[in-house]
């Protein structure tokens, strides 16, 4: 009897092991929004931010570059769906990947999210009343993320992480508790559908990274 059931048991185990890292929306709608962009000289991250602003999209952008600072280039004029401009960038040599999680669009220029964004945090608390920068700083100070930063030999740069402003007094109702969540999902939670986070990593003279919130309501 067991031998007859074995193929089905194996099939179930494999299905569990190959589940996606993030709960992606199988029918993304945000990339169907329209946008009009002028031709410009900009870095990839700057151009992607223009796309997000023009289409009124929230979410996150991750750009890993060999250059420090990120190199600027001639970016094309475009009018149409967001998915169209992303495919245009792919055709010009940018290996973009994109997916939707809830109301957030995530765009990467790597085959998968950088390791720091996939770190699973056991527990993280933040207040809706505090600045996004303070919440993100607390996230990157969690033991799991801090250990990964050290293991990867990453050095933080930029003015925002760890330099949070004073926040408004909040109540228990403003506190959000996330458990067993990945950094990328936690950043979406911090943004709350009202902001765009930008994670940048470069491998010039040393491995450096930054996390900023260039678009906020």
Does 108 map to a domain? yes
Helix (H, G, I), strand (E, B) or coil at 18: coil
Nearest to 32 by CA among 88, 100, 83, 86: 83
- The whole model's pTM is what? 0.83
Long-range Cβ pairs for the range 192-197 (8 Å, 24+): 192/128, 193/58, 193/102, 193/103, 193/104, 194/58, 195/58, 195/132, 196/49, 196/52, 196/57, 196/58, 196/59, 196/60, 196/61, 197/59, 197/60, 197/61, 197/132, 197/136
Does 4 map to a domain? no
Q: Which residue has the higher pLDDT, 67 or 166?
A: 67
Does 168 map to a domain? yes
Q: Write down the pLDDT at residue 66.
A: 82
* Domains of the chain: total: 1
Q: For residue range 127-137, what is the model confidence (pLDDT) as tens digits?
A: 999 999 999 99
Does 129 map to a domain? yes
Q: Write down the pLDDT at residue 6.
A: 38
Confidence of residue 18 (pLDDT cuts 50, 70, 90): very low
Q: Distance between CA 59 and CA 188 in Å, rounded? A: 6
High-pLDDT (> 90) share of the chain, %: 72
Distances (CA, A) of 51 to 2, 100, 101, 121, 154: 55, 15, 18, 30, 29
Q: Write down the pLDDT at residue 9.
A: 32
Q: For residue range 150-167, what is the model confidence (pLDDT) as tens digits?
A: 999 999 876 544 434 444
Does 154 map to a domain? yes
Q: For residue range 29-40, what is the model confidence (pLDDT) as tens digits?
A: 999 999 999 999
Q: Write down the pLDDT at residue 5.
A: 36
Q: Write down the pLDDT at residue 1.
A: 41
Residue 102 has pLDDT above 70, yes or no: yes
Question: Which domain covers residue 88, as residue numbers?
Answer: 30-216
Q: Distance between CA 148 and CA 135 in Å, rounded? A: 18
Confidence of residue 24 (pLDDT cuts 50, 70, 90): low
Read off the tokens for 145.
């993320």
What is the mean pLDDT of the segment spanning 38-52?
97
Does 105 map to a domain? yes
Confidence of residue 211 (pLDDT cuts 50, 70, 90): very high
């Amino acid at each position: 009897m067991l031998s007859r059931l074995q193929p089905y048991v194996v099939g179930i185990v494999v299905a569990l092991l190959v589940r996606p890292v993030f709960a992606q929306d199988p029918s993304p709608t945000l990339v169907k929004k329209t946008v009009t962009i002028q031709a410009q000289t900009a870095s990839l991250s700057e151009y992607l931010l223009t796309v997000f602003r023009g289409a009124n999209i929230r979410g996150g952008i991750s750009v890993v570059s060999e250059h420090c600072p990120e190199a600027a280039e001639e970016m094309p004029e475009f009018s149409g769906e967001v998915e169209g401009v992303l495919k245009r960038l792919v055709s010009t040599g940018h290996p973009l990947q994109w997916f939707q999680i809830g109301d957030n669009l995530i765009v990467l220029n790597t085959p998968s999210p950088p390791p720091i964004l996939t770190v699973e945090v056991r527990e993280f608390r933040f207040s809706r009343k505090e600045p996004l920068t303070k919440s993100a700083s607390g996230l990157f100070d969690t033991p799991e993320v801090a250990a990964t930063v050290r293991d990867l030999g990453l050095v933080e740069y930029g003015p925002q992480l760890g330099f949070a402003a004073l926040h408004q007094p909040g109540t228990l109702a403003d506190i959000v508790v996330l458990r067993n969540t990945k950094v990328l999902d936690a950043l979406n939670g911090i943004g709350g559908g009202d902001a765009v986070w930008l994670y940048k990593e470069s491998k010039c003279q040393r491995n450096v990274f930054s996390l900023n919130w260039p678009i906020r309501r």
